[in-house]
Amino acid sequence: MNRRDFLQQMGGAAALLGASAEAQSPAKKSTHAVAAPRPANADGRPNILMIMADQLRVDCVGAYGNKRIHTPHLDRIAREGLRFENAYTSVPSCTPARSALLTGLSPWKHGMLGMTKMATKPYPVEKAHALAQAGYYTTVVGKNHYYPITNPHGYHHMITDEHCSYAFHKRDNKPKMPQSEEIRCDYESWFWSEMPDKDPHATGLGWNDHGARPWVHPEETHPTHWTGSTAVKFIEQYEREQPFFLKVSFIRPHSPYDPPKRLYDFYDKQGVPEAKAGAWAKKYEPRSWEGDDIWHGKLPPDQMRNARVGYYGSVTHVDEQIGRILVALEERKMLDNTLILFFSDHGDMLGDQNMWRKTYAYEQSAHIPMLMRPAASMQLSAKGAAVRGMVEIRDVVPTLLDVAGAPIPESIEGKSLLQLVKSKGEGWREWIDLEHNICYDETNHWNALTDGEWKYIFHAFDGHEQLFNLQNDPDELNDLGADAARNAELERWRGRMVAHLSERGEHWVKDGKLQVRKKGTMLGPNFPGYLEPEMVLKSLG
């Protein structure tokens, strides 16, 4: 497929959505030379392309059954590869999820049980470093959420979008002191080189606001477009001898919900699904805080709809950039020699269960999309297959090492997705663990387990238990925790949770019983810790 075929494939959809920025300005092409088609790597190993979206919930990808969302390129990856039906993120917020991605470890083993700064002291095994040792050239474009943002964790090259200037941005335009020394990332430097007198946050939306407005600048200056363009340039220009590992990490659809106007208008006209809430979630109807940054509250219908219009537009914008990346791979004859793995770090409640943002055990927060398109040389002939095994972000590191033909250290707790596919699930884990330390409010503090059919949640603040049958009730509208007819099921899952948490000590389990924990535990004993800032800089050379 070439660029012309790509645009033709968009066909009627382009007419509805409005021509993309590239189609609107076909003469505005990159001025750099595109390298010649690249033959297979000399050592026979595939390139690895890992694509992430931030805060993308599983039901907002068309391949998972949503007929209202427009994601043709993600759907293509699923159609030509594998769709993991039961992919979860064990600690559903940004930094702990990315610690699992960095290490291949469970929350207790990497030590981040809630949302705080990632470690600056290194772990024994880290993803990019291990792949570099295996002979891959490692590059990241977009968001890492590392601390500091220049901490490479093994990457040869980093081109970042972290929205650092939000630390001192304020709607009233009055300056305030930055919260850290990291006041600019590569995207923002690029933005100001293009538009020196403009504000990349000119929509006025905050980093966790529920409001939505169209992007106010030219579309090609949007961070989503910049991330896609930078990844395309990497692929077009790559000429090194060794295979590459390229991480492309979009900072959207995480709020602010600010897609290009054409995408906002498309979903505003088409309409979006309404939020759902079970009777058990009525207690979350009152608004948690003043302002636009809230964690629960049943908002007026027009505000709920506006948030979802902006979010859906942001998802499609990410998908469009993924389409551009696929075209770049095809034009260099690299697509079939590249393993593509796509997933998100966590989801977004979007008003479901009267909740907003993430950090919850519920499906819209903890259940993530995960798609894999194998390279031809891997000979995984299962196009369009749905894989039912329970998988988690900790499985990414061993999967990538497996693809690279590198040994998987015994210390890694995750498992290779290739082995799951080849074994057809034999010997795979039966369930996955979920948790989050106190966030937003002392009552939001829990542990959970799920096998894709049932989900058990233990609320640590008061010991309240919830039980959902996901097979019959995928939206978790009916809490069976107090249903006497489900006591045996509840006890079975409670027993599993006791066994799972027992290694953590009496603060968690005492005399065979789960303990109420009024105080949280943000960092476990396996967290490696932080270096002093000057030591971090010294370690970076």
- Catalytic, 32? Answer no
Query: DSSP for 138-195?
Result: EEEEE----SSTT--TT-SEEEE---GGGGT--TT------SSS----HHHHHHHHH-
- Catalytic, 164? Answer no
Q: Is residue 468 part of a domain?
A: no
Give pLDDT, residue 12.
45
Of 60, 70, 73, 94, which residue is the catalytic one? 94
The number of folded domains in the chain is: 1
- Mean pLDDT of the residues in the chain: 91
Average pLDDT rounded to a whole number, residues 122-133: 97
Q: Is residue 311 part of a domain?
A: yes
CB atoms within 10 A of CB 371: 24
| Residue in 339, 319, 368, 348 with CA at minimum distance from that of residue 84 | 368
Q: Are 275 and 304 in contact (CB under 8 A)?
A: yes
CB atoms within 10 A of CB 114: 21
Q: Are 152 and 536 in contact (CB under 8 A)?
A: no
Average pLDDT rounded to a whole number, residues 389-416: 98
Global confidence as pTM: 0.93
Q: What is the pLDDT of residues 105-118, one digit of tens each?
A: 999 999 999 999 99
Q: Is residue 62 part of a domain?
A: yes
Q: Is residue 469 part of a domain?
A: no
Decide: helix, strand or coil at residue 61: coil
Q: Is residue 496 part of a domain?
A: no
Domain extent, residue 400, equals 3-430
Q: What is the pLDDT of residues 440-449, one digit of tens each?
A: 999 999 999 9
Q: What is the pLDDT of residues 310-359, one digit of tens each?
A: 999 999 999 999 999 999 999 999 999 999 999 999 999 999 999 999 99
Q: Is residue 436 part of a domain?
A: no
Q: Are 420 and 389 in contact (CB under 8 A)?
A: yes
Of 70, 73, 110, 145, which residue is the catalytic one? 145
Residue 291 to residue 306: CA distance in whole angstroms: 16
Structure tokens at 29: 């092409």
Q: Give the domain CATH number at 268.
A: 3.40.720.10
Q: Is residue 125 part of a domain?
A: yes
Q: Is residue 317 part of a domain?
A: yes
pLDDT exceeds 90 at position 165? no
pLDDT exceeds 80 at position 278? yes
| Residue in 493, 352, 518 with CA at minimum distance from that of residue 434 | 493
